[in-house]
Amino acid sequence: MKHDVLHPRSAPVASATTTPAWVFGAKGVLAGELMRLLDLHPTVALRGAVSRSEQSLESAHPHLESDASTCSAEEARAAIVAAARAGERPAIFLALPHGESCAAWKALRSELGELAARVLVVDLAADYRLASPARYEAAYGHAHPDAAELDAFVYGLVELNRAALNGATRVAAPGCFATALQLACVPAARAKLLDATRPWVLHGITGSSGSGAEPKPGTHHPWRHGNLWAYSLGGHRHEAELAQALESCSYAPPVHFVAHSGPFARGIHLTCALPLARKVTSTEARAHYAEAFAGSPFVSVLDGGRVPDLRAVAGSNRALVGVDVRGEVLTVLVTLDNMVKGGAGQALQCLNLMLGLPETAGLPRAGLGVC
């Protein structure tokens, strides 16, 4: 039962126009998280949840309390076209497996025709993250299925690309590891602190929610609990997003990133050992990061001696950054919730800017704490 006194939508928003939203891939864990966050949003209303199965939204996500119902892709496309024709500005979130967003957006684009310009698109998958078709093919092993559309998408890491996101109509939300990697490395690269001739050693641990909703041997809790292992030793696909960002800083270092599966559900903990190009103190390095994230409500650079942990960010859209120098190495630590700042929350943060809203609208800044 809803208690209106506590429900965010019970309070009117002055001069606000409601934006109807559809989520494609309704059964997925990111879709469930996104719909939880949409319920908190003052001006974006979930109109439909697109699923290939007949499973109800309540059954797929028992934690949700929503008036929306599941629908087919065909039904959603018809409703989105009708909304656009009626003068609304629909928003669609593509919370689909990698490789499926292209097909969904191409089908909708075809039905919309000229009305496609009215629709706001946020892709949570990898389909439109890489601007170069060649880089996409190298990372994913096949040619891009919608290469002509790549230029239409803006890369959605708000803290590093905020200006381009204001008023954008197509956004590719970054990957979870890619978000942590860029928050850790790009400020130092932009400040020209780093040596690109020596390896950058990056070590990341992620929770089981990053593996999706379908059970697998490696994500089954009795196997995952109390366990830890590395994967993708030959290279992780999210490195391509870091390489793309570093290229804009005129950096192309040898990156050695090793991903690990951790014994928890939510979160990413990243440790980076970055070779310095010149002598820098910890205080100076922290100042560069503080300047880079000034005005970013969801990224906090910790004071000297403090290190980020997962519990402080779990359930929130925040990222914590710790910075320290030892000798010729800059150590950067990042924690974030892969489901929120590394996924659904980041997508909603992007939509806020696309709509001209405060980027914090509907997004939690406080972590769960002791639980």
One-letter identity of residue 346 = Q
Distance CA 363, CA 349 (A): 8
Cα of 139 vs its chain's centroid, Å = 18
Sequence-ordered list of residues with C-beta below 8 angstroms from that of 228, at least 6 positions apart, any chain: 205, 260, 261, 262, 263
Spot the catalytic one: 102, 176, 185, 350: 176
Structural contact between residues 320 and 366, judged by C-beta atoms closer than 8 angstroms:
no
- How many CB atoms sit inside 10 A of residue 191's CB? 17
Query: Residue 215 forms beta bridges with which residues?
Result: none
In eight-state DSSP terms, residue 236 is -
Distance CA 257, CA 181 (A): 9
176 is catalytic: yes
Distance CA 280, CA 288 (A): 11
Give long-range contacts, CB 8 A cutoff, 24+ apart: 71-74: 73/24, 73/104, 73/107
Instruction: Rounding to the nearest 10 degrees, give the CA dihedral for residues 114, 102, 68, 215.
Output: 180
Catalytic residues: 176
